[in-house]
């Protein structure tokens, strides 16, 4: 279910305040967006405009280091998740290829035993 977002415009100081809270609290984008009735895309856009080390945000060095450490952990988790997904997809592909091979063998045997053409000739209409 899609939630409605605010249509009011935030001042620059409001945006910076929300970003400071996002970085310092460790809250997720979803939590911040719900709290201020924003879309996550809006927060992403503000993050793009006001980088974490920008003077406008004026975050303490400890918070910047903490955010960067969390980002590295999230990236490592994402890489591990994607590698697991690749393994699952490779297994599914191998299983599918075995199924295709089994059907081809079954059709070959049926054609040989029943002496009928099951597969259509190429270009037949």
What pLDDT digit, counting tens, does each position of 9-43 carry?
778 778 878 887 887 777 788 888 888 888 888 88
SS3 content of the chain, % helix, strand, coil (to 5): 70, 0, 30
Most confident segment among 29-33, 47-51, 67-71, 101-105: 101-105
The residue assigned the tokens 């081809």 is 104
Check residue 56 and give its pLDDT: 60
Check residue 90 and give its pLDDT: 96
Mean pLDDT of 119-123: 73
Check residue 57 and give its pLDDT: 66
Cα-flanking dihedrals φ and ψ of residue 56, to 5°?
A: -60, -40
Structure tokens at 80: 């591990």
Check residue 124 and give its pLDDT: 58
Q: Cα angle vertex 53, ends 47, 20, to 5°? A: 55
Q: What is the DSSP string of 37-55?
A: T--HHHHHHHHHHS-TT-T
pTM: 0.45
**Which whole-number Å values give the CA distances from 105 to 94, 102, 114, 116, in the listed order?**
17, 5, 14, 15
The closest of 109, 5, 74, 55 to 119, measured between CA atoms, is: 109
Structure tokens at 112: 């040989």
Check residue 108 and give its pLDDT: 93
For 71-101, the pLDDT digits (tens) are 777 777 888 889 999 999 999 999 999 999 9
HSE of 55, CA atoms in CB hemisphere, 13 A: 0
């Amino acid at each position: 279910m899609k939630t409605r977002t605010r249509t009011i415009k935030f001042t620059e100081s409001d945006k910076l305040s929300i970003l400071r809270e996002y970085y310092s609290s460790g809250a997720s984008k979803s939590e911040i967006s719900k709290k201020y009735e924003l879309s996550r895309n809006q927060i992403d856009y503000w993050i793009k405009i006001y980088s974490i080390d920008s003077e406008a945000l004026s975050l303490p060095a400890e918070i910047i280091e903490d955010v960067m450490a969390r980002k590295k952990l999230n990236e490592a988790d994402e890489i591990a998740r994607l590698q697991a997904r690749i393994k699952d997809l490779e297994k599914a592909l191998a299983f599918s290829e075995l199924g295709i091979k089994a059907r081809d063998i079954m059709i070959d045997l049926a054609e040989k035993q029943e002496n009928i053409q099951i597969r259509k000739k190429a270009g037949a209409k």
